[in-house]
Structure 1
Amino acid sequence: MPKTPRRHQDDLASLFSLAFSTLNQELHQRLNELGFGDIRPMHGFLFQGLIPDGATAKTLVDLLGISKQAVSQMLDYLEERGYVIRRPHPSDGRGKLVVLTERGWALLKAKESIYSKIENRWGGIIGPDRLNMMRSDLKQIIQSVGEGELKQKLRPVW
C-alpha cells in the first residue's frame, strides 16, 4: 500500500518557505511604515552584494544569477529613489561602482532592527535556547552540504 503523502504544510520545504514568507511580509510591512515602501524583496538580495564597499554591475549579475538588463533596471529604480549611486570605479576607468547612499544605509539599519525584533519575538514563542539551537542546526546543515562553508551567494530562487 502506498504511503499517504504528507500535507504540504508539514514538509520542511513548505515550513521553511512559510516561515520565510512570514518574516518577509512583516519586514516589508514595517519598512513601509518607516518610509521604505518602495523596496521589494528582490532588492534585499542586491543590497547584500553592496555591503560593505559597493560592487560592479557584473558582480551583482553573478551574485543574483539574473541578466545584466535586469540588474541595470533594478539599479536604475534604486538610484532614482536615492538608495544607491553609481560612481567611477577606482581602478577601472571605464567601470562603475555601485554604492549605498545614506538612505541605503538607513534602510539596512532599519532592516536589521526589524529582524532583531522579529527574532526576539520568535524566541519568546519557542524560547531563546531553541531559537539559537535552530540557527546552529541550520548552519550545520548548510555547512555540511556546502563542504564546510556557508554559501556566499544568497540569491532568490523564485
Structure 2
Amino acid sequence: MSKSSPYNHDLPALLSLAFSGIIQELHEQLDKLGFEDIRPAHGFLFQRINPDGATGMEIVEHMGITKQAVSQMIDYLEKHGYVARHPHPQDGRGKIVVLTERGWALIRAREAIYAVIEQRWAALIGAERLVQLKSDLDQMIRSTNEGELPPRLRPVW
C-alpha cells in the first residue's frame, strides 16, 4: 500500500476493501458465466433461502429491509429464473421462496469462484497463513458476539 493511501492499514477499511474486491471479482466472473443479471445485494437474499427456502417475512428479517423491497427483489429473481414461489408446506395461505435449477447453478458457480480466489490468496500469502487468517478473523468476530458467529451476514444499507 502506498504512503498516499487514505487507509493506512486501518483494519476496518482493509477488511472492507478485501470484501469489496472479492465481491467485484465474483460478479465479473459471474457475468462471464451468463449470470450478468445478478447484483451483490441478491447474494444476501440467496444466503437466507439456501438451502431450504424461506418465507418473505424471513427474508425481510434477514435483510433488514422493507417487505416491499424484498417483494421487488423476489419478483426480479423469479422473472430471471433464479427463484420460484411455492405454497408453504405448513401455511396454506403462505408462500415459500426456493431456488430453481438456475439458482442452484448460480450457487455452484459462486462457490467455485470463491475457491479460486481463496486458492490465489493462499498462493500469495501461503496456505498456512490463510488458514491462520481465517481462524484469527473467526476468533475476533466471536469475541464481539458472545462467542458465537452472527447468524447472518447482513448488508449495511
Determine if the TM-score, normalized by the shorter chain, exceeds 0.5: yes
Q: Is 1:155 matched up with 2:154?
A: yes
The residue that corresponds to 1:13 in the other structure is: 12
How far did residue 148 of structure 1 move?
Answer: 1.3
RMSD: 1.1
In 2, the alpha carbon distance for the partners of 1:101 and 1:155 equals 23
The residue that corresponds to 1:122 in the other structure is: 121
The residue that corresponds to 2:110 in the other structure is: 111
The residue that corresponds to 2:27 in the other structure is: 28
Q: What is the aligned-residue identity percentage? A: 61
In 1, the alpha carbon distance for the partners of 2:142 and 2:124 equals 27
If the length of structure 1 is used for normalisation, what is the TM-score? 0.94
Local SS of the residue matching 1:97: strand
The residue that corresponds to 1:135 in the other structure is: 134
How far did residue 53 of structure 1 move?
Answer: 0.7
If the length of structure 2 is used for normalisation, what is the TM-score? 0.95
Q: What stretches of structure 1 move > 3 A for 4+ residues in a row?
A: none
> Any stretches of 5+ residues in structure 1 without a counterpart?
1-5
Q: Is 1:60 matched up with 2:64?
A: no
When structure 1 is superposed on structure 2, of 7-16 and 116-125 the one drifting more is 7-16
In 2, the alpha carbon distance for the partners of 1:100 and 1:25 equals 23
Local SS of the residue matching 1:10: coil
The residue that corresponds to 1:40 in the other structure is: 39
In 1, the alpha carbon distance for the partners of 2:6 and 2:35 equals 36
Give a deviation string over 1:6-38, Cα, whole Å, max 9, x none. Answer: 942420111011111111110000000000000
In 2, the alpha carbon distance for the partners of 1:23 and 1:101 equals 25
**Amino acid of the structure 2 residue aligned with 1:104:** G
In 1, the alpha carbon distance for the partners of 2:117 and 2:11 equals 21
How far did residue 52 of structure 1 move?
Answer: 1.2
**Amino acid of the structure 1 residue aligned with 2:100:** T
When structure 1 is superposed on structure 2, of 7-16 and 69-78 the one drifting more is 7-16
The residue that corresponds to 2:75 in the other structure is: 76
**Number of residue pairs aligned between Structure 1 and Structure 2:** 153
> Any stretches of 5+ residues in structure 2 without a counterpart?
none
In 2, the alpha carbon distance for the partners of 1:84 and 1:118 equals 26
Local SS of the residue matching 1:55: coil
In 1, the alpha carbon distance for the partners of 2:86 and 2:28 equals 31
Local SS of the residue matching 1:86: strand
Local SS of the residue matching 1:99: strand
